[in-house]
Amino acid sequence: MSPLSITLNGDVRDVPDPITLAGLLEHLGLDPRAVVVEHNRIIVRRPQLAETPVAEGDVIELVHFVGGG
Amino acid sequence: MTDTVPPQPQTSADTPLEIGGRRFRSRLLVGTGKYRDNEQMARAIEASGADVVTVAVRRVDLDRTKEAGVLYHLPANRYFLLANTAGCYSADEAVRYARLAREAGFNEFIKLEVIGDKETLLPDTEGLLSATRTLVKEGFTVLAYTNDDLIAALRLEEAGCAAVMPLASPIGSGLGLLNPYSIRTIKSRLSVPVIVDAGVGTASDACLTMEQGVDGILMNTALAEASDPVLMAWAMRHAVEAGRAAWRAGRMPRRETAVPSSPTAGMLR
């Protein structure tokens, strides 16, 4: 299947189709326990990541804690 | 670095720092930013004796996903992670970041920052009040970084902040406590804890700040940009304890005339 085009952390990129948010984290090499997922401006809780499909045009932000004051 | 300072006299044990129903032994809170590397950060924080450490929320760097993050060096059973909304210039942005931070699953505390100016990084009071009201409704424990204005502090307390965090001087400036009078005034009028945040440069700044009677102090750059952050962290730990003890001890009054310390009677004639 042709890849999905999404906006991920501000950049447009292709991801495999079909894929869930959990699958996307795995595809990127990210630990779901270390990352918070915002899917089209909605925070998706960890248990729901595997149930939430990624769609064409989705805007996804993956954030985590970094050093700060 | 081992502790070579004797413990405080047992007659006068201090109470713990209490914020939002949680208790902390150390009144020194530290940031985790700007260090040379995470190992140095961890050693400095250890030397500081801090219980509460702040972290920021940022996008994952998708090109560097294999590197151990800051949390790897800060065990959650040892440190209380206080997420901040650093870099947010509007209430909406700060609320968005706070919700993301809470989703990481550590606690419901947030160090709220809504910045009003890029050059000075001074806070936007209107934005702080708006964000505080929203976040308090959503069950957050809000600690608000604010300026040293009494009215702003009172409004933030009224809006439901669990603690108010007036600045000593601008973030990262190292200028120390610019307005002791304002900080003393804020502390005398508020019921919630007052934790001075921002602008601390060296140990004497921390000691002087605690002598104003505030409940705690937060610093980041003072440690991270010291030539020896671990040694500075040790110094700050003791400066905070000394300033706090000096305040609790009740200082002598200031006078504009001299009073001799040795008896005037019994002099040879």
- Every domain of chain B and the residues it spans: 25-58+68-249
Optimal mutation site among B103, B111, B217, interface A, most CBs of chain A within 10 A: B103
Does the interface predicted TM-score (ipTM) exceed 0.90?
A: yes
How many Å lie between the alpha carbon of B194 and the closest alpha carbon of chain A? 17
Structure tokens given for B138:
């959503």
Tell which CATH architecture fits domain A4-63. Answer: Roll (3.10)
Q: Considering chain A, what percentage of its residues have pLDDT values greater than 70? A: 99
Active site residues of B: 111
Q: Tell me: the pLDDT tens digits for A7-64?
A: 999 999 999 999 999 999 999 999 999 999 999 999 999 999 999 999 999 999 999 9
Nearest CA in chain A to B30: A69
- pLDDT exceeds 70 at position B5: no
Helical H segments across B54-197, by residue range: 91-103, 125-137, 150-158, 180-189
Residue B82 pLDDT greater than 90, yes or no: yes
**B220/A34 CB distance under 8 A:** no
Mean of pLDDT over chain B: 95
CB B103 within 8 A of CB A48: no
- Answer whether B70 sits within 8 Å of A67, measured CB to CB: yes
Which residues of chain A are at the B interface, by a Cβ-Cβ cutoff of 8 Å?
A: 8-10, 28-30, 34-36, 38, 43, 45, 61-69
Closest CA to B19 of B144, B183, B174, B159: B144
Q: For chain A, which residues make up each domain, given as ranges?
A: 4-63
Look at B34 and A67 and tell me if their CB atoms are within 8 Å: yes
Is the distance from CB of B170 to CB of B220 less than 8 angstroms?
Answer: no
Give the pLDDT confidence of B206-223 residue by residue, as tens digits.
999 999 999 999 999 999
Task: Report yes or no: B36 at the A interface, CB cutoff 8 Å.
Answer: no
Tokens coding B122: 């001074």
Q: Which CATH class is domain B25-58+68-249?
A: alpha beta
Nearest to B70 among A36, A62, A65 (CB): A65
**CA B241 – CA B235 distance, rounded (Å):** 10
Segment B42-55, tens digit of pLDDT: 999 999 999 999 99
State the residue for tokens 């809780």.
A45
Confidence at residue B129, expressed as pLDDT on a 0 to 100 scale: 98
| B2 has pLDDT over 60 | no
Does B152 lie at the interface with A, CB-CB under 8 angstroms? no
Contacts of A61 in chain B (CB under 8 A): 59
